[in-house]
Amino acid sequence: MTDSTLPDNNIHNQFDNKAKAWSARFNEPVSDLVKRYTASVNFDKRLAKFDIQGSLAHAEMLTHVGVISQEDLQQIQTGMATIIQEIEASTFEWSLDLEDVHLNIEKRLVELIGDAGKRLHTGRSRNDQVATDMRLWLREEIDTAIKLVKELRRALAKVALENHDVILPGFTHLQVAQPVTFGHHLLAYAEMFGRDAERLEDCRRRVNRSPLGAAALAGTSYPIDRERTANSLDFEAVCHNSLDAVSDRDFAIEFCAVSSMIMMHISRLSEELIIWMSPRFGFIQLADRFCTGSSIMPQKKNPDVPELARGKTGRVYGHLTALLTLMKAQPLAYNKDNQEDKEGLFDTADTLRDTLTIFVDMVGGITVKADNMRAAALQGFSTATDLADYLVKKGLPFRDAHEVVALAVRQCEDLGCDLADLDLAQLKDFDPRIEEDVFDVLTLEGSVNARSHIGGTAPARVKAEAERILSE
Ligand code: ARG
| Residue of 47, 43, 74 whose CA lies nearest to 59 | 74
* Rounded distance between C-alpha atoms, residue 427 and residue 421, angstroms: 10
**Per-residue pLDDT at 27:** 87
- The least confident of 15-24, 48-57, 252-261, 303-312 is 15-24
Give the distance (Å) from ligand 1 centre to CA of residue 19.
Answer: 17
Task: List Cα–Cα distances, 301 to 123, 282, 296, in angstroms.
Answer: 60, 13, 12
What pLDDT is recorded for position 21?
A: 59
Q: Specify whether the backbone of 90 is left (phi greater than 0), alpha (psi in -120 to 50) or beta.
A: left
H helices present in 215-249, as ranges? 226-232, 242-247
Residues in CB range of 317: below 8 A, 6 or more apart: 260, 263
Predicted pLDDT at 5: 37
**Which segment of 3-7, 97-101, 216-220 scores lowest on mean pLDDT?**
3-7
How does residue 342 score in pLDDT terms, banded at 50, 70 and 90?
very high
Q: Are 341 and 134 in contact (CB under 8 A)?
A: yes
pLDDT digits (tens, 9 = 90+) for 188-204: 999 999 999 999 999 99
Q: What is the pLDDT of residue 26?
A: 87
20 CA distance to ligand 1 centroid (A)?
Answer: 14
Q: What is the pLDDT of residues 248-276, one digit of tens each?
A: 999 999 999 999 999 999 999 999 999 99
pLDDT band at 11 (very low <50, low <70, confident <90, very high): very low
Residue 3 pLDDT more than 80? no
Burial class (CB in 10 A: 0-12, 13-18, 19+), 289: exposed
Q: Residue range 307-317: average pLDDT?
A: 98
Q: Does the pLDDT of residue 72 top 70, yes or no?
A: yes
Q: Which residues contact 343 (CB under 8 A, 6 or more apart)?
A: 43
CA angle 90, 91, 94 (to 5 degrees): 85
| Protein residue with its CA nearest to atom 3 in ligand 1 | 339
Q: How far apart are the first and last CA of the chain?
A: 70
Rounded mean pLDDT of 294-305? 85
**SS3 of 22-49:** CHHHCCCCCCHHHHHHHCCHHHHHHHHH
Domains and CATH numbers, the chain: 32-123 (1.10.275.10), 127-224+240-375 (1.20.200.10), 381-471 (1.10.40.30)
| DSSP-assigned letter for residue 389 | H
Q: What is the pLDDT of residues 208-247, one digit of tens each?
A: 999 999 999 999 999 999 999 999 999 999 999 999 999 9
Residue 154: C-alpha distances to residues 221, 269, 384, 448 (Å): 52, 15, 34, 24
Report the distance separating Cα 460 and Cα 468, nearest Å. 12
Per annotation, catalytic residue among 4, 31, 173, 221? 173
Q: Which residues contact ligand 1 via a Cβ below 6 A?
A: 40, 44, 100, 126-127, 130, 334, 336, 338-339
CA distances from 156 to 184, 259, 432, 440, 469 (A): 10, 19, 45, 31, 10
Q: List, as own/partner pairs, every contact residues 301-304 make where C-beta atoms lie below 8 angstroms and the sequence separation is at least 24, other chains included.
A: 303/273, 303/274, 303/277
Q: Does the annotation count 173 as an active-site position? A: yes
Residue 4's pLDDT is 37
Average pLDDT, the chain: 94
Q: Is 397 left (phi over 0), alpha (psi -120 to 50) or beta?
A: beta
pLDDT at 22: 63
Which of the listed residues 42, 47, 339, 345 should we mutate to test ligand 1's pocket, taking the one with most ligand atoms within 8 A of CB? Answer: 339
Nearby residues of 253 by Cβ (< 8 Å), 6 or more positions away: 320, 323, 324, 327
DSSP string over 276-306: HHSTTT--EE--GGG-B--SS-TT--B-HHH
pLDDT at 425 over 50: yes
Res 377 pLDDT > 50: yes
Residue 177's pLDDT band, with cuts at 50, 70 and 90, is very high
pLDDT of residue 414: 94
> Is the confidence at residue 472, as pLDDT, over 70?
yes
* Residue 143 predicted with pLDDT over 60: yes
Output the CA 208–ligand 1 centroid distance in Å. 20
Residue 339 has pLDDT above 70, yes or no: yes
Ordered DSSP codes for 7-22: -TTSS--HHHHSS-TT
CA distances 133 to 96, 136, 140, 205, 302, Å, are: 19, 5, 11, 16, 41
